[in-house]
Amino acid sequence: MAKFEATMNRLYRRIFVCKKCKSKIRTDAARVTAGTTKCRTCGGKSFRVIKSKSKAA
């Protein structure tokens, strides 16, 4: 499968995962580090970057 730049950006760029409830949120990294972004479902403020799937050989 070829990796296209537009597809990879759409799937993995600016997407963060809530550490409490594991829901995905699309926002800017500056807002996450500043703590102004809240989770829609649980109200938590701790997020991590979504992990891109890599092809294991």
Q: Which letter, b or e, does each residue of 25-52 get, where b requires 16 or more Cβ atoms within 10 Å of its Cβ?
A: beeeeeebeeeebebeeeeeeebeebee
What is the band of 55 on the pLDDT scale with cuts at 50, 70, 90?
low
Q: CB neighbours (10 Å) of residue 5?
A: 7
Residues 6 or more apart from 36 whose CB is under 8 A from it? none
| pTM for the structure as a whole | 0.76
Residue 56's pLDDT is what? 56
- Domain residue spans in the chain? 9-44
CB of 21 closer than 8 Å to CB of 44: yes
At 3-54, the pLDDT tens digits run 788 888 888 889 999 999 999 999 999 999 999 999 999 999 999 998 877 6
Residue 23's pLDDT is what? 96
